[in-house]
Structure 1
Amino acid sequence: MNQLTQRCNINTFKIVTLVLSLLFLSACTPAPERFSNDSEDYCKDISFQKSTTLTEQLAPYSHYIEGGKTGVYVLEQGTEAMFTRAWLSEHAEKTIDVQYFIFSADNIGLLAIDYLVRAAERGVKVRILVDDIMLDAKGDELLILNAHPNITIKIYNPLVNTGKNIVQKLTNLVTDFHAFNQRMHNKTFTVDSAVSITGGRNVADEYFGYDHEYNFRDRDTLLIGPTANNIEQSFNEFWQHSLSVPVTDLLADKATEEALQKEAPNFQKLHQYACNPTNFLPEVRAQIEAMPAAFKKAVDDGDVHWLDNIEYVSDAPGKNDGEVFLGGGGIATSKLIALITQAKKSVTIQTPYLITTDLSKGILKTLVDSGVEVKILTNSLASNDNLEAFSGYQRDRDALLKTGVSIYEFKPDAQIRQKVMSQEMSKQLEQAPIFGLHAKSMVIDDNLTVIGTFNLDPRSANLNTESVVIIPSSAIAKKVKAAMLVEIQPENAWEVTLDWNPDHKVDLTKRLKVKSRIVVPKSIL
């Protein structure tokens, strides 16, 4: 399945017909070979020895951390989000805990794995927890990676993919549709229980501005201090839950097992791939090497804010017990409702998928009627990667507009490309990729910012586990809101009214595809 098709299926697993397509494709399409047999040693001139540790780099800020404050830096650009993860991986001393909905085996994914393996080779304990639905790694690859003594992999809710044949997949879909749809949408990257990154980005080319066809505008937060420990506690809750299953319990590959019994896993092909300048540009590697100095400058310039009362809120594994079919809500849902209903002046929202219910429309109407200005940026049909989600939004768009909120739809050629596309990739491409919105953020009353994984749709509210970081800072709120307001300007988005929308900007075929999704209930989108 090519990258564009895969992207379009990120959320469509809840639609029975498309799930069936995904199942049959995964059963019939052979996985491509990841690496070439190039004999050149690309790593020989690259030094992987670091002169300082993460502890030493954070030592100048220990008085903040010991005083209970968390350092907060909003990662707006895809490149800095990637560089920061790499920097933390290179300097990790004890542990790296990785939790993602999507961890692709594309270029960015392979480079990320190489960083984790190199950390493990230094003695760092690496735990990887990935949701089952979009996992595209081959069974032998997972077993070999897991065979490293310092790497452990678990798969969340493995009903559809890992270790399942087509009959098992179909049986799980038909017999337990509710459990089949309960996915782990959390995204966290935590190092030494001291530093964490969380927000909207998965691990794949398109989340960091490196895809040739389609890239996301997204947002993460870097958290240094006590809040990172809270994220670690949440990770442990997921890791220890029965829904998180070791890959060795799911996969049986006799050839791989026999090979691993004879000799330790060999990661030289992976290392050579990552060292190859075609896959990892030297100028990008140089920017990662400069990250310690860049972080110090960010602190000195006041771009890292040391704050009390940062709150990380995560749903519990499984989210609900299934007593309410495809429903039930969760901790994150309740928290967001409590926050938004307290707004006095303004609420500014970015959400890639906007599918409202009577409850959410009622909340928004109450806010507008009380004088609160509500602005929402979501994807247009032209920028959307999920036709099912757009169908749900399209059916409800007029009713939502009648509540009095202002709605803007992201343009596929938005001019804020410097936040989306890496400069190195831009130079290589003759034609700019399509751009879509993936950031899930909210600013309330210019003093509270919420950044996380939560889409404004029934799936995030009731099925997927979601997480958010709540940041009580007027300085951060004003900065994030300023970026949001730029992104609703005419060069970046269309304003939608009851009399006009930009659906006609796409060809008839795509419009008809959206209309064909009208049979899908909004409650499962």
Structure 2
Amino acid sequence: MTLFRRFAALALAALLPACATLSPAQRDSAAQIAAQARPSQVDCERVDACAQPSPLRALGADAFAASTPEAPRHYALLLERGTDALLARINLIRSATTTIDLQTYIFDEDDAGRLVLEELIAAAKRGVRVRLLLDQLSALRDVETFAALAGAHENLEVRLYNPVLGRARINYPQYVLAAACCWRTLNRRMHTKLLLVDGAVGISGGRNYQDEYYDWDDEYVFRDRDVLIAGPTARAMDTEFDGFWRDRRAVPIEQLTDVGRHLLRNGVPAWPAPVYERPQRTAAMQRDAADAALVRERLADRAMQVGTVHYISDSPDKHADEGHVHAEASESLRALIESAQDEVLLQTPYLVLSQPAQQMFRDMQERPAPPRVIISTNSLAATDAFIVYALSHKYKRRYLREFGFTIYEYKPFPLDAPIDLSATGATMPASQPANAPLPARPRHPQGSATERERYRALSREYAALRYARRRANEPVPLRRAGVRMGLHAKSLVIDRRVGVVGTHNFDPRGDAYNTESAVVIPDPAFARALADSIRRDIAPANSWVIARRDKPPVLSGLEYSLGKVSEQLPVFDLWPMRYATSYEFVASAECPQPLPPDAPNFRACYRPVGDFPEVALGLKGLTTRIFTAFGAGLAPIL
């Protein structure tokens, strides 16, 4: 047998199971096994399901009491720190009296994910109806976990959104098959994120359910942002969740082929006792979530009173056609940006703009008095998706010159980030300064199997890259060790009067493929608070500023023209001199405050630090340049 035939035989053997599905009778039998195994008894007979009193849940009651149909009142709380965001979630889950609805893109089985699962099951057992809706490509790790959840309790139901090949989990050959047969369907993902308790208090924003989002990873953590909303808009959140839950694409897990087969062969496995990587940390979080005084001091007392709040959400109808027809989130956000008269302050981890967005910014720049557009995004050193960064790098001339952007790129070791380094679990040598980045834990160069699995969900904002090789897709090597921080917040402030926190990366995927959501608050005080948070991220201690590199002494016009022509090419953008580079602020008596790049004294106060500061240039630097040259065709799916 030739090598080709052997490969074809192996590929066929791997793909055949993916094509096999459960018969209707098998599917009914699996569903019956799960239903019969679900306990129906509850641990509490009280009307309130023995809910834990919560100052966060009380905000909802207060907001409803103060509201009228003509003048709604809300409380809004920015959740900047990862540990606070997890504390708020656990405390709210325990406060539920009737319902908990959770919708998310990534749900991992690490410490943070497992802790939330345990709390949801506990809520179901005390009498709360719990609905858990997960996007298929990034949901949990093991089929056995799904099978156990299928029969965990009568009050708990789990569904997966858009399960390609009718499965809960797919391996690499199955992914290849799905990409070959149904690429558009594969890319249509539910990126919407929402936790809603009793239809009264909701949390939405950038965070998924994984250690990296809650300052619990000792190698890489996300600087992210959520907003907690208490009040009447929670009803709109409930309506939008119901739309997803009832959609035909939201499939009960026991009806999926691999979960159903597991149930038919083995029955419903017992839900195992939790095993945490750092049990002391999870125990501390559980104690803190039960401490009403602590939750009030750290969270509830910081909530702001606001009036009208809008919840914008794409519906599953976005996936019924070409996507743009029902892209309500994208259209609403573009309308907000176009309304700006003075300033657009935008934060996104992945600066890759769709064609409509590019045209919008180009048109805005042509106004007689265009608004200032300030962008906070990732550097190559900080990002978790270097291929996406490569396209951002390719178009920096366009962003700066044609769209008038002022771009700040987040550092991998910011000195003033709202991240709890002590929560990561990394240890600091006694000789290391207190403000220095913490060292990463040692590991084998290839990574253990456990570590590879822990990384599995890290770079999954982009479904097209879901099964790329780990070493090709992980954050780039740096010149020094430490707990790396990457920006993941998606926020917007318009003219210091409207604040937006959501899930949309302001990218082509959010426009055409993913369902997205956003909380829009037209309140000047909230907008100022959000703007202050973003401005903290773009301060010199935390970000580099991007500006045009120094002009060459001769033929500068020719160099610019050649670079512009090369940039227009979809492939073979090989011109080595990029228009812009990164700059570091150098404080002095003459330069006491940071300046924007268009300030007259900018070059006297800033020094260039290269295109990829902090990066240990090597293969990743080369591949970044390769994707800059050849990757423009990926833009529609990035």
When normalised by structure 2's length, the TM-score is 0.69
Q: State the SS of the aligned residue for 1:172.
A: helix
Of 513, 518, 532, the residue aligned with 1:468 is: 518
Between 168-177 and 198-207, the greater mean CA deviation after superposition: 168-177
Instruction: Name the structure 1 match of 2:30.
Output: none
**In 2, Cα distance between equivalents of 1:221 and 1:57:** 14
Kindly indicate whether the alpha-carbon contact (under 8 Å) linking 1:387 and 1:513 is maintained by their aligned counterparts in 2. no
The reply on whether 1:503 has 2:611 as its aligned counterpart is yes
In 2, the alpha carbon distance for the partners of 1:51 and 1:173 equals: 46
Correspondence 1:522 to 2:625: no
Q: Which residue is 2:309 aligned to?
A: 310
> How do residues 139-178 of structure 1 correspond to structure 2 at under 5 angstroms?
139-147=143-151, 148-159=153-164, 162=168, 164=170, 168-178=174-184
AA partner of residue 347 (structure 2):
Q
Which has the higher mean CA deviation after the structures are superposed, 355-364 or 147-156? 355-364
Q: CA deviation at 1:461?
A: 1.2
Cα 1:298/1:281, change in 2 over 3 Å: closer
SS of 2:519's equivalent? Answer: strand
- The structural deviation recorded for 1:56 is 6.3
| Alignment match, 2:503 | 453
Alpha carbons of structure 1 residues 58 and 360: separation in structure 2 relative to 1, 3 Å: closer
C-alpha displacement of 1:354: 0.7
The whole-number CA distance in structure 1 between the counterparts of 2:87 and 2:171 is: 38
Letter in 1 for 2:230: I
Instruction: Give the whole-Å Cα distance in 2 for the aligned partners of 1:240 and 1:498.
Output: 51
Distance 1:515 1:96, change over 3 A: same
For the 8 Å contact 2:52–2:95, the answer to whether it is kept is no
- Is the 1:391–1:515 contact (alpha carbons within 8 Å) kept by the matching residues of 2? yes
CA distance 1:522–1:249, shift in 2 (3 Å): same
Please state whether the residue corresponding to 1:280 is helix, strand or coil.
helix
Q: Distance in 2 between matches of 1:74 and 1:194?
A: 17
Equivalent residue, structure 1, for 2:222: 216
Q: 1:458 to 1:510 in 2, by over 3 A?
A: same
Distance 1:202 1:297 in 2: 21
Residue number in structure 2 paired with 1:348: 345
Q: Are residue 336 (structure 1) and residue 333 (structure 2) matched?
A: yes
Distance 1:208 1:56, change over 3 A: closer
| Equivalent residue number for residue 31 of structure 1 | none
CA distance in 1 between counterparts of 2:335 and 2:278 reads 49
How does the TM-score come out when normalised to structure 1? 0.83
The match for 2:533 is 483
Structure 1 counterpart of 2:360, one-letter code: I
The CA distance in 1 between the partners of 2:249 and 2:525, in whole Å, is 39
Q: Is the alpha carbon distance of 1:317 and 1:255 closer, same or farther for their aligned partners in structure 2, counting shifts above 3 Å?
A: closer
Distance 2:218 2:408 in 1: 26
Contact kept in structure 1, 2:60 and 2:75, CA below 8 Å? no
**Aligned equivalents of 2:528, 2:57: Cα separation in 1:** 31
Amino acid at match of 1:448: V
Q: 1:55 to 1:212 in 2, by over 3 A?
A: closer
Note closer, same or farther for the CA distance 1:49–1:433 as it changes in structure 2 (3 Å cut).
farther
Question: Bigger radius of gyration, 1 or 2?
Answer: 2
1:361 matches 2:358: yes
- 1:284 deviates by 3.1
Task: Report 1:75-154 matches (<5 A).
Answer: 75-147=79-151, 148-154=153-159
Q: Which residue in 2 is equivalent to 1:373?
A: 372
Residue 213 (structure 2) aligned to one of 191, 204, 207: 207
After TM superposition, give the deviation of residue 304 of structure 1 in Å. Answer: 1.9
Unaligned runs of at least 5 residues, structure 2 = 1-10, 19-48, 429-437, 440-481, 550-580, 583-609
Distance 1:185 1:56, change over 3 A: closer
Q: Aligned partner of 1:125: which letter?
A: R
Paired residues, number: 471
Distance in 1 between the 2:500 and 2:194 partners? 15
Residues 119-147 of structure 1 deviation map (CA, whole Å, 9 limit, x = unaligned): 11111111111111122321121121121
Classify the secondary structure of the residue corresponding to 1:201: coil
Query: How far is 1:504 from its partner?
Result: 3.1
Cα distance in 1, alignment partners of residues 287 and 426 from structure 2: 17
Query: Corresponding residue for 1:190?
Result: 196
Q: 1:148-170, CA deviations, whole angstroms, 9 ceiling, x for partnerless residues?
A: 21111111111166255666543
Distance 1:357 1:94, change over 3 A: closer
- Do 1:70 and 1:225's aligned partners in 2 also have CA atoms closer than 8 Å? yes
How far apart are residue 281 of structure 1 and its match? 4.5
Report if aligned partners of 1:318, 1:465 keep a CA contact under 8 Å in 2. no
Shift of 1:489: 1.4
In 2, distance between residues paired with 1:56 and 1:94? 15
Structure 1 gaps, min length 5: 1-19, 28-47
Distance in 2 separating the partners of 1:50 and 1:321: 40
What percent of counterpart residues are identical?
31
Q: Is the 8 A contact 2:206 2:488 kept in 1?
A: yes
Preserved CA contact (<8 Å) 1:78 1:422: no
